[in-house]
Amino acid sequence: MTDAKKGPGLTAGLKNKLIQQALERKLRQAERSQDRQATPPIPKTPKVTIPEAFTRFDQHPGYRQLRIMNDGAARMGVRSPFFKLHEGVAGAETRIAGKNYINYASYNYLGMSGDPVVAQAAKDAIDKYGTSVSASRLVSGERPLHRELERALAQLYGVEDAVTYVSGHAANVTTIGYLFGPRDLVVHDELIHNSVLQGIQLSGAKRLSFPHNDFDALDRLLAAQRHEFERVLIVLEGIYSMDGDYPDLPRFVDIKQRHHAFLMVDEAHSLGVMGATGRGIREHFGLPGTAVDIWMGTLSKALAGCGGYIAGETALVEHLKFLAPGFLYSVGMPPPVAAASLAALQRMLEMPQRVSALQQRGALFLDQAKAAGIDTGYSTGYAVIPAIVGSSLKAARLSATLFERRINVQPILYPAVPEKSARLRFFVSASHTESQIIETIETLVQAL
């Protein structure tokens, strides 16, 4: 056979190639058309009107309630008792706006804040380590002072180890929030501190409360509930910060053992206050440190610093140091703060007479107040003594009246306590004199 006749026009091969390309284009167009038909059009976003109150902080319900309270107090001629500016060390006495006052608004229980030995320890730490460790302790913020303070706290409680946090509130929140979860139960005294409640909320654990200091009610609660949960935590305070009383700790230890639960005691207000040498509620009852699973406390009261701690067995502390968010992701405690608290702890053990003086002054205040007919509620005279007056307005006015007479004491108002339990809260110090306490009670009775 011979080739097709050659002449003008396309060759057969080129013509076939062009036809193939045209067919492919049509096929792609058809596929795109099908895709457009299969994909529904994106609907137009409906117009939504967001209320202005959701975009303004001055319309937040909490702030509006605060404004109502402050404006109402101003109309009644009651000045705000909060955020007073102290001009020096706040101990048994303080200076505000150029005037001296007997001071019951600071929990400098043993007079360690302002103690020259404690202050010098903080100054020396600044000279050696600076004012900040500038990192979380896990990565680069560890200093010898941290370990010395934690060893001293562990020895104080007779347990294996301790860990310090830069905030007492955060110590409770992150410890409870991390260690417990949705399959667990946390049971607490009905008057427990806010930091415990926040920690439970973070954890997602079931939360139940029992009547104040009622160990029988706790026993019944656990008998009915314990089997439904994996881990169970019982939380108490060593001294309750609003009422000044304490639990019968041995009874709670027995209950936690029988129901296979953990027991946590918040010693924010009992360390340095209870026990012959200030070792707290366990010394008061003669219990070993291992009787309680989690000891918690703060460094800002008797120990003249700032922050919190957890003390207990090695497995607990090591776990928290590596994984509790409030420790892991927070900067390490500043060196002068750690040094001050360590020095205050050592001074407390060296000077038990300060603890004894505090206990004597507290007992005197309580006895004088009761004899004068003042409602002191549950207080046992250990440093925290309320004068319950029955309404927030009355408490605020009474605080203002005492302030005019050179006595500084803060009112505790609703919602921090029930309205009918509004009060003045007196923090007694080892540095208060007997004459100051007697003068205070006489002035309080006159003001009432």
184: Cβ contacts below 8 Å, ≥ 6 apart:
203, 205, 206, 229, 230, 231, 232, 233
The CA-based angle 309-89-398, given to 5 degrees, is 95
Burial code (b: 16+ CB inside 10 Å, e: under 16) for 410-431 equals bbbbeeebeeebbbbbbbbbbb
- Exactly one of 188, 269, 284, 432 is catalytic; which is it? 269
Asked if residues 294 and 286 have their Cβ atoms less than 8 Å apart, the reply is no
At 92 the three-state DSSP class reads coil
| 219 φ, ψ (degrees, to nearest 5) | -60, -45
Asked if residues 331 and 301 have their Cβ atoms less than 8 Å apart, the reply is no
269 assigned to active site: yes
Q: How far is CA 425 from CA 206, 324, 413, 417, 422, in A?
A: 32, 34, 10, 11, 9
Asked if residues 111 and 354 have their Cβ atoms less than 8 Å apart, the reply is yes
- Exactly one of 301, 330, 431, 432 is catalytic; which is it? 301
5 assigned to active site: no
Other Cβ atoms less than 10 A from the Cβ of 122: the count is 21
- Exactly one of 195, 241, 330, 399 is catalytic; which is it? 241
Q: Tell me the residue type at 135.
A: A
Q: Terminus-to-terminus CA distance in the chain, angstroms?
A: 131
Written as six digits, the tokens of 217 are 């009610």
391 assigned to active site: no
Q: Which helix (H) or strand (E) holds 67?
A: helix 61-75
| 375 φ, ψ (degrees, to nearest 5) | -80, 105
Catalytic positions are: 241, 269, 301
